[in-house]
Chains A and B, each alone.
Chain A
Amino acid sequence: MTGVGIDWALDWVRRSAAVVAERREDLIDLDRLIGDGDHGENLHRGYSAVLGKLDAAEPATVGDVLKLVATTLMSTVGGAAGPLYGTAFLRGAKVADAAEIDAAGVAAVLAAGLEGVVARGKAEVGDKTMVDAWSPAAAAAQQVADRGGSAPEALRAAADAARAGAESTDPLVARKGRASYLGERAIGHRDPGAESSALLLEAAAAAAGS
């Protein structure tokens, strides 16, 4: 398999919903330390709503699935994560207007998603936000595409880079969001948005069997 298609996108959603449900309490705990404690609950609510809409959906493209995720998360998540993830998936959907995407397509989706997160949140790498996971993930997928790798390989590289990126937020002082009010007290705690981003991108790689 060199590309990933609609079935992959649907499986990504199901795996995302499952991992968000499974890790709900962990995300709540992370967010309670440096945020307002609602990230796990909000994402869980959002992905539960996406699951509820999945059976009735008749996607013709990968982008159709991503757009359903985008609009549902925007409607149901609340807090900053709704617009941030919503915009990421919405921008990703716009560049995935095909029944199947290759490694370059995966890289384009992640680059567009990163652009969306940055457009909404105005954060940069090192600000202790979702961007710290999305930015290396997009770059890693692009590298795989450049050397002629497959879509599952690009997703695996992105997931690994996002995981490392999330872990890299542990020692940082936050410069965006509520954690920025804590100053040095945020040091030693992982950013919940970077962690959930890593979980979602790991789900994407798992759905591609990589």
Chain B
Amino acid sequence: MAIALVLVSHSAQLAAGVVEVAGQMAPDVSITPAGGTEDGRVGTSYDLVEQAVSGALADGAEGVVILTDLGSATLTAESVLEVLDDDRVRLVEAPFVEAAVASAVSAQGGGDLDAVIRAARTAVASFAAPAGDDDGAPPAAADPAGAGARSRTLVLANSLGLHARPAAVVARKASEFDADVTINGVDAASVLALMALGLVGGAEVELSASGPQADAALEAIAADIEAGFGED
């Protein structure tokens, strides 16, 4: 059973909105909002967080990653963790929206608790140092495909290019195979790194893969790119 997410915000609407965004990229992941107080005010509720976490575990989640927006949301989540005292439940302090998207995609790809936490933590790095530089210089690979890599050069067929949804599709595919896959030098399993490339329709992409399933990974992702991810 997969890792579930609980998103804790001061605002019910903010939590629900981020659940909506992350859910679009990770349709099979359990993502529960715990925003606002029980009587609908701005704030955070111990009970709402506790119920969201316990509910996810009761539904069979292997682990739960909690993300929070600001100060007292973190304190509330920490209090819940202290009372639950359960190793399967972890809090990650990371940018709320970015971490939600990154960890949701990781969970969708079958990532375990540590992998999902890592995805959330690296969300900040993806944005602090965007992979695509203004001068067009090739960005450094976080995890280069390395020796023996196979590469293909493709053109993004859909007009919007590698925006959020297709980036999530690529990241999921990339993590399904036993292969290190990069696009234009960045880790293709990282949805945020892919989005940070800012590649639009018609852009040329260098798809590389190495590892035991390099060929299969290359084939699958290239097919998606050539099909325009089912978009115009």
- Tell me, in angstroms, the Cα distance from A90 to B44 when the chains sit together: 19
**Binding-face segment, B69-77, B93-101, B103-111, B157-165:** B69-77
Q: Do B82 and A87 touch across chains, with their CB atoms under 8 A apart?
A: yes
Q: How far does the Cβ of B197 sit from chain A's closest Cβ, in whole Å? A: 37
A53 at the interface (CB under 8 A from B): no
Instruction: Provide the A101-121 mask, 1 if CB < 8 A to any CB of B, else 0.
Output: 000000000000000000111
B47 at the interface (CB under 8 A from A): yes
Q: Which residues of A contact B43 (CB under 8 A)?
A: 78-79
Instruction: Provide the B19-62 mask, 1 if CB < 8 A to any CB of A, else 0.
Output: 00000000000000000011001011111000000000000000
A82 at the interface (CB under 8 A from B): yes
| Given A78-B43, A78-B44, CB of A83 within 8 Å of CB of B83 | no
Q: Do A84 and B44 touch across chains, with their CB atoms under 8 A apart?
A: no
Q: Do A75 and B82 touch across chains, with their CB atoms under 8 A apart?
A: no
Q: Do A83 and B41 touch across chains, with their CB atoms under 8 A apart?
A: no
Give the secondary structure class of A's interface: helix
- Tell me, in angstroms, the Cα distance from A84 to B78 when the chains sit together: 10
Q: Do B45 and A75 touch across chains, with their CB atoms under 8 A apart?
A: yes
- Tell me, in angstroms, the Cα distance from A95 to B75 when the chains sit together: 22
Q: Which residues of A contact B76 (CB under 8 A)?
A: 74, 82-83
Return the contact of B45 from the options A78, A84, A90, A120 (Cβ within 8 A). A78
Q: Do B79 and A87 touch across chains, with their CB atoms under 8 A apart?
A: yes
Q: Which residues of A contact B75 (CB under 8 A)?
A: 80, 82-84, 120-121
| Given A78-B43, A79-B43, A82-B46, CB of A90 within 8 Å of CB of B71 | no
Q: Do B79 and A86 touch across chains, with their CB atoms under 8 A apart?
A: yes
Q: Which residues of A contact B46 (CB under 8 A)?
A: 71, 74-75, 82-83, 86
Q: Which residues of B contact A78 (CB under 8 A)?
A: 37, 41, 43-45, 72
For the complex, count residues of B whose C-beta is within 8 A of A: 16
Closest A residue by C-beta to B76: A83
- Tell me, in angstroms, the Cα distance from A120 to B72 when the chains sit together: 10
Q: Do A90 and B78 touch across chains, with their CB atoms under 8 A apart?
A: no
- Tell me, in angstroms, the Cα distance from A180 to B137 when the chains sit together: 42
Q: How far does the Cβ of A83 sit from chain B's closest Cβ, in whole Å? A: 4
Q: Which residues of B contact A80 (CB under 8 A)?
A: 71-72, 75
B169-191 residues with Cβ-Cβ distance < 8 A to A are: none
Q: Do A120 and B71 touch across chains, with their CB atoms under 8 A apart?
A: no
Closest B residue by C-beta to A81: B72
Q: How far does the Cβ of B161 sit from chain A's closest Cβ, in whole Å? A: 41
- Tell me, in angstroms, the Cα distance from A71 to B76 when the chains sit together: 11
- Tell me, in angstroms, the Cα distance from A82 to B83 when the chains sit together: 14
Q: Which residues of B contact A86 (CB under 8 A)?
A: 46, 79
Q: How far does the Cβ of B21 sit from chain A's closest Cβ, in whole Å? A: 26
Which 10 pairs, one residue from A and one from B, show the smallest C-beta to C-beta distance? Answer: A83-B75, A78-B43, A74-B46, A83-B79, A80-B72, A75-B46, A75-B47, A83-B76, A74-B79, A120-B75
Q: Which residues of A contact B (CB under 8 A)?
A: 71, 74-75, 78-80, 82-84, 86-87, 90, 119-121
20 A-B pairs with C-beta separation under 8 A: A74-B46, A74-B79, A75-B47, A78-B37, A78-B44, A78-B45, A78-B72, A79-B43, A82-B46, A82-B76, A83-B75, A83-B78, A86-B79, A87-B78, A87-B82, A90-B79, A119-B78, A120-B75, A120-B78, A120-B79
